[in-house]
């Protein structure tokens, strides 16, 4: 881990999340439901045509690190707190979803896709807080490289290139979200057969 002085501090407020509590009555009983109101996001599966590879993001996630801290298996893992993810970002600007997706590709990985294909909108976190994730696909090549990447505002993002034929063996040892596997299966069904 490339961080110093990582510690928990008192929580007061956030521009990213808001705790919510609702009460309701059902079948004569009163109930309470606590959840987090969170911002929506965009995610992009990038396929590098020249390298026949996916381009993923590797980054440190404090909530994952916190969760793993109590898990004996992960305490032995050198990648504790690190994930392999799609290029993603919050919907927190007055831009279209496609513009935000393109901007994230440049900020995180340095690529500016010429064309984005919208795959769909998906919802996550039904119990703890729902947010919508808009999922895109883009093909890139070295001519689309316009910046260094690596993230902004303190992000420490590393580009990970994974050949399509090596994805299944690579991913066995990685911590990831279900969206990463969904993206792979979607690609194999809709794009790989055409090659």
Q: What distances in angstroms separate CA 37 from CA 34, 43, 101, 172, one per listed residue? A: 10, 19, 21, 32
The single residue listed with the structure tokens 């979200």 is 177
- Report the C-alpha gap between 136 and 116 in whole angstroms: 6
Structure-token pair, residue 8: 């928990």
Give pLDDT tens digits for 121-159.
999 888 888 899 999 999 999 999 999 998 887 778 999
CA distance 193 to 90: 32
Summarised one tens digit per residue, pLDDT across range 77-113 is 556 788 899 999 999 999 999 999 999 999 999 999 9
Query: What local confidence, expressed as pLDDT, does residue 72 receive?
Result: 60
70 strand-pairing partners: none
Strand partners, 195: none
3-state helix vs strand vs coil in the chain, percent to 5:
25, 35, 35
Contact in structure between 97 and 91 (CB atoms under 8 Å): yes
pLDDT number for residue 73? 53
pLDDT band, very low/low/confident/very high, at 12 (cuts 50, 70, 90): confident
CA 175 → CA 35, 65, 126, 172, distances in Å? 25, 11, 21, 8
Residue 14 tokens, joined: 């956030």
Enumerate domains of the chain plus CATH numbers.
41-191 (3.90.79.10)
Residue 28 tokens, joined: 């004569």
Q: How many helices (H) and strands (E) does the chain have?
A: 5, 9
Question: Exposed (0-12), middle (13-18) or buried (19+): which is 32, by Cβ within 10 Å?
Answer: exposed
108 is in an annotated binding site: yes
State pTM to two decimals. Answer: 0.88
Residue 27: the pLDDT is 95
Annotate 13-47 with DSSP letters as a single string.
Answer: --SSEEEEEEEEEETTEEEEEEEEEE--EEEEEEE
* Segment 159-190, tens digit of pLDDT: 999 999 999 999 988 888 889 999 999 999 99
Q: Does 155 show up as a binding residue in the annotation?
A: yes
Q: What is the DSSP-derived secondary structure letter of residue 123?
A: E
Model pLDDT, residue 128: 85
- Please state, in angstroms and rounded to a whole number, the distance separating the CA atoms of residues 53 and 110: 16
């Amino acid at each position: 881990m490339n961080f110093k002085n990582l510690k928990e501090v008192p929580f007061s407020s956030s521009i990213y999340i808001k705790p919510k509590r609702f009460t309701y009555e059902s079948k004569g009983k009163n109930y309470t439901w606590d959840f987090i109101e969170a911002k929506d996001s965009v995610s992009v599966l990038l396929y590098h045509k020249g390298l026949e590879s996916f381009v993923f993001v590797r980054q440190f996630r404090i909530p994952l690190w916190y969760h793993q801290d109590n898990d004996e298996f992960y305490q032995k893992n050198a990648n504790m707190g690190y994930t392999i993810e799609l290029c993603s970002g919050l919907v927190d600007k007055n831009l279209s979803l496609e513009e935000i997706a393109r901007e994230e590709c440049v900020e995180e990985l340095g690529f500016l896709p010429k064309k984005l294909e919208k795959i769909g909108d998906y919802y996550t976190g039904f119990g703890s807080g729902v947010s919508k994730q808009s999922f895109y696909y883009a093909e890139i090549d070295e001519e689309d490289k316009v910046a260094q990447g690596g993230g902004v505002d303190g992000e420490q993002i590393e580009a990970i290139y994974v050949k399509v034929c090596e994805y299944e063996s690579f991913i066995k040892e990685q911590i990831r979200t279900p969206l990463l596997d969904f993206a792979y299966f979607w690609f194999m069904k809709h794009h790989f057969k055409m090659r």
